[in-house]
C-alpha cells in the first residue's frame, strides 16, 4: 500500500522540464501583466511629467488595452498556422521592444504610440504562453499546470500597483517600462532554450486560407466595444454611441460571417455549442470583472476608510494576494483529481460570503479585520480561475484549444475593462464609492460564478 501511495504522488508531480517550462512561460506573462498594472499607479506622475491633462494621459492605459484587444483575435489563427511557440516569441519581442521605446518616450504622443506597440505584443504573449504550456503538459496534469501558471500571472496585478507606486513616488517612472528590457532578454534566452515547438497535428487535406475578413471584422468590432467600455466615464456620449453602434454592427457581421460564409473562421463560434465550454467562458467573464474591480476598490477603501497613503494603500490588496497564493497553489492539482465543478462552486461561494461580509461591515471593521476578510476572499477567489481554465483543455479537442484560449482571454479582458469602468462610475465626488453597493455587486457576481460552475465537468474519468 505504501508503494502505491508513493507511485501516485510521483505520478501527480511535475517533472523538472515541465516545471522549467511553466516558469519560463509564466514569467513572460507575469512581466506583461505586471507592467500593465504598475502603469495604472503612475498616471498622475506621467500627467505631471508631460504637462498634460488626465483625459489624455489615460490613453497610456487605454491604448495598451485596445492594442492588446486587437491582437487577441489573431492568436488562435496564428498559433494554428505558425505554432504557439512562434507566436509567443514574436509577442515577447514586440513587448520588450515596446517597453524600451516607451521608457525613452519624449512626449505624450510618442508615449501612447509606443504603448500601443507594447500592448499588441502583450496581447499575443499571455494567451500564447498559456496555450503552449497546456499543449506541452501531460493531459492528466493540465490542472496542476494551469494552477501554477495562474499563480504566477495573478500575483502580478497585486504586486504591479505597489511597484508602480514605489517607482512613481520616487521619480523613477521610466523604470516601470525599462525594467522589462533585462527581464525580457533573460526570458527570451530561456524560452529559446527550454520551450520546444509543439508537434503539429496532421492536416486533413490542404491548409485552409486565412480568414482575413473574419480577422478584420472581429478585431475592429472588439476594439470598438473595448474602447467604449474603457472611455464610458469620459462624458463624450456622442462619440461613444457612434463607436459603440459601429462595434456592435461589426460584431454582428462577424457572427453571420463565422456561421454562414466560412468553414474556417478565425474564432469558431460553434465552440459555444459545447455546454461545458460555454460555462467556462461565462465563468471567466466573471473572473475578469471581479479581479480588476477588486484591484480598483481596495486601495480606495484603504485610503478613505483607514486614511492610508503610499504603499499603505496596498495593504488590503496584499491580503488578497496572500489568499490567492495559498489557494492557487493547490486548486489546479485538486481539479485534476476531482474536476473543476466542485472546486469552483465552493470557491465561488466562499468569495460570495466574503464580499457579503464586506458589504455589510466595511464601514465598521478595523483594518486587521478587513484584511482578514479580504484574505478569505482571496482564498475563495483563487480556487475559481485556474480550474475553469484547465477544464478547457479537457473539454475541447486539441485542434480547437488555441481558439478556446483566445475566446477566454477576449471575455476576460472585456469584462476586466467593464469592472474598472463600473467602479469608476460609482466613485463619488469625495473620491470614494458607496462601498456597501460595490461589495454587494461583487458578491452577486461571485454567486453567479458559483451557480454557473454547476455546468462545468465533474470528476475526470479514469482510464
Mean pLDDT by 10 residues, the chain (463 residues): 42 63 79 77 76 72 76 77 84 91 88 89 83 68 68 72 77 84 86 70 50 79 76 69 88 87 76 87 90 83 83 83 82 75 92 95 89 94 82 74 77 79 74 85 96 85 50
Distance from C-alpha of 277 to C-alpha of 132, rounded to nearest angstrom: 19
pLDDT at position 205, please? 47
- Phi, psi torsion values for 15, nearest 5 degrees: -75, 170
Distance from C-alpha of 227 to C-alpha of 245, rounded to nearest angstrom: 12
DSSP per-residue letters across 233-264: TS--HHHHHHHHHHHHHHHHHHHHIIIII-SS
Distance from C-alpha of 291 to C-alpha of 445, rounded to nearest angstrom: 11
pLDDT at position 350, please? 96
Give the count of beta carbons closer than 10 Å to the beta carbon of residue 359.
Answer: 18
CB 255 within 8 A of CB 374: no
Hey, what domains does the chain have and what are their CATH numbers? 14-196 (1.20.1250.20), 212-265 (no CATH), 269-463 (1.20.1250.20)
CB 56 within 8 A of CB 250: no
pLDDT at position 463, please? 40
CB 174 within 8 A of CB 38: no
CB 132 within 8 A of CB 84: yes
pLDDT at position 451, please? 95
Give the count of beta carbons closer than 10 Å to the beta carbon of residue 232.
Answer: 18
Distance from C-alpha of 182 to C-alpha of 188, rounded to nearest angstrom: 10
In terms of Cβ atoms closer than 10 Å to its own Cβ (0-12, 13-18, 19+), residue 428 is: exposed
Amino acid at each position: 500500500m505504501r508503494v502505491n501511495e508513493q507511485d501516485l504522488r510521483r505520478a501527480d508531480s511535475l517533472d523538472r522540464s515541465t516545471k522549467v517550462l511553466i516558469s519560463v512561460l509564466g514569467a513572460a506573462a507575469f512581466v506583461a501583466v505586471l507592467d500593465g498594472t504598475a502603469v495604472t499607479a503612475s498616471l498622475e506622475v506621467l500627467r505631471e511629467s508631460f504637462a498634460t491633462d488626465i483625459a489624455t494621459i489615460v490613453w497610456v492605459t487605454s491604448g495598451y488595452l485596445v492594442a492588446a484587444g486587437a491582437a487577441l483575435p489573431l492568436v488562435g489563427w496564428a498559433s494554428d498556422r505558425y505554432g504557439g511557440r512562434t507566436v509567443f516569441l514574436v509577442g515577447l519581442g514586440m513587448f520588450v521592444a515596446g517597453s524600451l521605446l516607451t521608457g525613452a518616450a519624449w512626449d505624450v504622443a510618442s508615449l501612447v504610440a509606443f504603448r500601443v506597440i507594447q500592448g499588441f505584443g502583450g496581447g499575443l504573449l499571455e494567451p500564447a504562453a498559456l496555450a503552449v504550456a497546456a499543449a506541452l503538459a501531460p493531459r492528466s496534469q493540465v490542472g496542476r499546470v494551469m494552477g501554477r501558471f495562474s499563480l504566477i500571472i495573478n500575483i502580478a496585478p497585486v504586486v504591479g500597483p505597489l511597484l508602480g507606486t514605489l517607482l512613481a513616488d520616487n521619480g523613477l517612472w521610466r523604470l516601470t517600462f525599462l525594467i522589462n528590457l533585462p527581464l525580457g532578454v533573460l526570458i527570451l534566452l530561456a524560452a529559446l532554450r527550454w520551450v520546444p515547438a509543439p508537434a503539429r497535428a496532421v492536416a486533413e487535406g490542404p491548409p485552409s486560407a486565412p480568414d482575413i475578413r473574419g480577422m478584420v471584422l472581429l478585431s475592429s468590432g472588439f476594439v470598438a466595444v473595448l474602447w467604449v467600455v474603457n472611455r464610458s466615464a469620459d462624458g463624450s456620449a456622442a462619440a461613444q454611441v457612434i463607436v459603440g453602434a459601429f462595434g456592435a454592427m461589426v460584431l454582428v457581421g462577424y457572427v453571420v460571417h463565422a456561421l454562414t460564409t466560412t468553414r474556417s473562421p478565425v474564432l469558431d463560434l460553434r465552440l459555444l455549442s459545447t455546454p461545458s465550454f460555454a460555462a467556462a467562458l461565462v465563468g471567466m467573464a466573471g473572473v475578469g470583472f471581479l479581479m480588476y474591480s477588486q484591484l480598483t476598490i481596495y486601495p480606495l477603501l484603504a485610503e478613505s476608510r483607514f486614511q492610508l497613503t503610499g504603499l499603505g494603500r496596498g495593504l488590503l490588496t496584499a491580503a488578497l494576494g496572500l489568499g490567492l497564493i495559498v489557494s492557487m497553489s493547490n486548486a489546479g492539482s485538486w481539479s485534476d483529481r476531482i474536476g473543476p465543478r466542485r472546486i469552483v462552486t465552493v470557491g465561488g461561494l466562499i468569495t460570495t460570503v466574503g464580499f457579503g461580509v464586506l458589504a455589510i461591515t466595511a464601514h465598521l471593521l478595523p483594518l486587521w479585520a478587513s484584511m482578514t476578510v479580504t484574505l478569505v476572499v482571496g482564498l475563495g477567489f483563487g480556487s475559481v480561475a485556474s480550474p475553469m481554465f484547465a477544464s478547457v483543455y479537457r473539454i475541447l479537442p486539441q485542434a480547437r484549444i488555441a481558439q478556446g484560449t483566445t475566446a477566454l482571454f477576449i471575455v476576460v479582458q472585456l469584462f476586466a475593462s467593464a469592472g474598472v469602468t463600473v467602479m469608476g462610475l460609482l466613485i463619488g465626488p469625495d473620491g470614494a464609492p458607496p462601498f456597501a453597493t460595490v461589495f454587494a455587486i461583487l458578491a452577486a457576481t461571485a454567486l453567479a460564478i458559483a451557480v454557473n460552475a454547476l455546468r462545468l465537468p465533474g470528476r475526470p474519468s479514469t482510464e
